[in-house]
Amino acid sequence: MPFSIKEFPFFAGFVAFLGTLASAATINVDIGKEYQRISGFGAASAWAGSITDKNAAFLWDSTSGAGLTLHRIRIAPDGTTSETSIAKKASEYGVKVWAAPWTSKYTVNYDGDKKHLDFNHAQDWANTILKFTQDMRKAGINLYAISSQNEPDGTGDNHYEPDELARWVGDYLGPTLDTTGIKIIGTEAINWYGFPNYKKAFFNYPAALKYTDIFGTHEYGGDPAAYPEIHEAGKEFWETEVYDLGSNKEDVGMGSALRVAGVIHDALTIANMNAWHFWWIYSCSEASCGNGALWPQGQGNPDNVEPTKRLWVMGNFSRFARPGSWRIDATKNPEANVKATAYRDSLKTKIAVVILNSKNEEFKADFDFGNTKIGSFKPYVTDDNNNLKEGEKVQVDDTKCSYNVPARSATTVEFILWQEPKVEPPADTAKNDTNTAKSDTSLVSTTRTDSITAIAFGKLSVPQNIQRTYKVFSPLGVFVGEFQATHIGELRNAMTSAGLGRGVYMVKCGKAKMQHMILK
């Protein structure tokens, strides 16, 4: 006879109950297996002229905003930019600013009416870019990197054949910027189809490879692929531009956001990229610009509207995978429509796991850290109703734990590694240590300020497990970043790991006097 579930109300209710349970799978995380160092996440403000303090905080504040750490600006054909004030605000947040030329003012016809760089004026163009970096420095902006050319495989005035671009970098741009400490992004192809041709040309041209610090590509076509020879050559691999290609119908919510987060996930896990950038922060007014920016398209002045969820899912990565952190091994696809990546900080005290749950139901993540003991964790959720909402701290004290990831969300679970409880020394021992320190006048001056300076900068021996916060500035006083280290040598290592170039920096530690430091 025909079977009807309506005849079995208890069974029907039981099935309904099962449907409400979160699916579950294990995410294995191995802090001992590292892939690539993270340089950051960012976006571009090409052609924009200003940004409000409110929107700057949305972009770059690592507590209330998305905490982006890279920013891309445009160099006009005359060697100027409209984005100086934006770049300066980014720098004040410690963001690394880099610039890309769209086309040169020194062009010549080729292939009919098409134009590209006139190599008779290649040195003039290199000198123009050098002057641009100098003008930016005078404005208080120390550029982190310069791109050789935005989308050289385009058909406009930006076009270079692969061997031409290698020659431009190896013979002109590289030597001209060599003493500035500014890194060079050798390639910025349109997509995964064009990139291999430019990468090959650079590897076949020793001078171009020598001066290139970073290989970059956009993602407007093709599938991400790994190029291990880039990292083996001591270079970084960056994704430098893309927007949501899934639809040009504007979607400010989690649909577009999860598509973008999936692109980030694939770039980091398949291509092992060190950095990832969205295209625009502010959108244009054309219908085709839908989902093309971090702020909504067609909703008026971006100063008066909230950013889209695309920005906040970027924050699920950028707020926690900070420059100098490393991507570590984790179960990438624990279940259908669920993706995960994991990162450890530069001091190996934290692990952040970014989980993208595209399902319409919760996902129960069972974490297994192997031999690594976890002290506690705290979730940060971006979904239809929340933007990086901070959850309650959960005490663990074990190598395994679980968390229910909300439906249709990007959720970062930040784990604090377990540490041995600190044991205070007996009172008489502490007293003897204090007397000993007071009697050893050969080490430092006995004034309080000088003693603090001596401890912070390594002139006085202290227990090496005490971490301090060092604030680093450029010689012009522009804030560069904040680092946790036990001593000045470890600070140098942390700064180098974070990608800071050689040069002179000013360092402040607590109440200690500002010190000049040379990073070699």
- pLDDT tens profile 141-196: 999 999 999 999 998 889 999 999 999 999 999 999 999 999 999 999 999 999 99
Range of the domain at 495: 440-519
Q: Do residue 477 and residue 393 come from a single domain?
A: no
- Name the domain boundary from 289, 305, 321: 321
As a whole-number percent, the residues of the chain with pLDDT over 90 amount to 69
59 in a structural domain: yes
- Name the domain boundary from 321, 340, 360: 321
DSSP structure string for 210-246:
HH--EEEEE-SSS-----HHHHHTT-EEEEEE----S
- Total-model pTM: 0.80
Mean pLDDT, rounded, of the chain: 87
Beta strands in 242-345 (DSSP E): 275-280, 326-330, 338-344
Q: Do residue 374 and residue 505 come from a single domain?
A: no
Q: Do residue 461 and residue 402 come from a single domain?
A: no
Q: In terms of pLDDT, which residue wins out, 285 or 447?
A: 285
Q: How far apart are CA 208 and CA 214, in angstroms?
A: 11
Mean pLDDT of 358-379: 97
10 in a structural domain: no
What is the tens place of the pLDDT at every residue in 193-229?
999 999 999 999 999 999 999 999 999 999 999 999 9
Direct distance between the N- and C-terminal alpha carbons of the chain, in angstroms, rounded to an integer: 84
The set of residues, in sequence order, having a beta carbon less than 8 Å from that of 381 and lying 6+ positions away, is 388, 389, 391, 406, 409, 410, 411
Q: Do residue 57 and residue 206 come from a single domain?
A: yes
What is the CATH number for 363? 2.60.40.1180
Give the residue among 230, 213, 152, 138 at the shortest CA–CA distance from 177.
213
- Which residue shows structure tokens 């050893």? 440
Buried b (16+ CB within 10 A) or exposed e, 111-130: eeeebbbbeebbeebbebbb
> Which of 16-25, 113-122, 316-325 tops mean pLDDT?
316-325
Q: Do residue 113 and residue 66 come from a single domain?
A: yes
Q: Do residue 491 and residue 515 come from a single domain?
A: yes
For residue 8, give the 3-state DSSP assignment.
coil
Residue type, 509: C
Q: Are strands 350-357 and 338-344 parallel, antiparallel or unpaired?
A: antiparallel
Residue type, 364: K
The yes-or-no verdict on residue 53 having pLDDT over 90 is: yes
17 in a structural domain: no
What is the tens place of the pLDDT at every residue in 490-512?
787 778 777 777 667 788 887 77
SS (H, E, C) 92-149: HCCCEEEEEECCCCCEEEECCCEEEECHHHHHHHHHHHHHHHHHHHHCCCCCCEEECC
